[in-house]
Chains A and B, each alone.
Chain A
Amino acid sequence: MRRGMGLWAAALAVYAFLYVPLAIVVAYSFNDSRLNAEWVGFTWHWYDVLLHDEAMLAAAGNSLLIALISSLVATVLGTMAGIAIHRYNLKSLTFMVLTPVAMPEILLGVSLLLFFIQVLNLTLGMLSIVLAHITFSIGFVAVIVRARLAGMDESIFEAARDLGASPWETFRYITFPLILPGVVAGWLMAFTLSIDDFVITFFTAGVGVSTLPLHIYSMIKIAVTPEVNAVSTLLMLLTLTMIVLAARFAPDALKGKV
Chain B
Amino acid sequence: MRSSWAGATMRGCFCVTESLRKSTPAARLNRYLVGGPPFLFLLLFFVVPGFIMVLASFRYPGEFGGLAPLSAADPNILQGLTLETYRFFFSDPIYSQVFVKSIFMALATTLICLTMAYPLALLIARSPKKSRDLMVLLVILPFASNFLIRVYAWMIVLGPQSALSQLVNGLLQGLGMEPVRLLFSPFAVLVAMVYVHLPFMVLPLYTNLEKHDPALLDAAQDLGASAWQRFWRVTFPLSLPGIFSGSALVFIPVLGMFAVPDILGGTGDMLIGNLIKEQFLGTRDWPFGSTLSIMLTIAVLLIAWFAAKLAGRRGSYA
Contacts and interface: CB of A to CB of B under 8 A. Distances in A.
A254 B133 CA distance: 7
Given A80-B34, A115-B49, 12 more contacts: A11-B120, A80-B35, A88-B21, A96-B39, A102-B297, A110-B290, A115-B45, A138-B41, A189-B203, A196-B146, A224-B149, A240-B141
Q: When A and B form their complex, which 10 residue pairs have the shortest distance between CB atoms, in order from nearest?
A: A104-B256, A84-B35, A21-B153, A239-B144, A111-B49, A10-B119, A115-B49, A81-B38, A107-B293, A232-B145
A98 interface: yes
Tell me which of A14, A195, A257 has the highest count of chain B C-beta atoms within 10 A of its own C-beta: A14
A111 B48 CA distance: 9
Q: Classify the secondary structure of A's interface with B.
A: helix
B152 interface: yes
Nearest to B121: A11
Contacts of B94: none
18 contacts: A7-B126, A17-B195, A22-B150, A36-B152, A88-B35, A89-B14, A103-B256, A106-B289, A106-B293, A107-B297, A110-B280, A119-B52, A150-B10, A154-B19, A185-B207, A199-B256, A228-B149, A232-B146
B5 interface: yes
B109 interface: no
Contacts of B34: 80, 83-84, 87-88
A205 interface: no
B132 interface: yes
Given A90-B35, A99-B297, A235-B144, A224 B52 contact: no
A99 B4 CA distance: 11
A213 B147 contact: yes
B316 to A, nearest CB: 16
B255 interface: yes
Tell me which of A3, A99, A224 has the highest count of chain B C-beta atoms within 10 A of its own C-beta: A99
Interface of A: 3, 6-8, 10-11, 14-15, 17-22, 24-25, 28, 36-38, 77-78, 80-81, 83-108, 110-112, 114-115, 118-119, 131-132, 134-135, 138, 140, 142-144, 146-152, 154, 157-158, 167, 181-182, 185, 188-189, 192, 195-196, 198-199, 212-213, 216-217, 220, 224, 228-229, 231-233, 235-236, 238-240, 243, 247, 254-258
A103 B301 CA distance: 10
A238 to B, nearest CB: 8
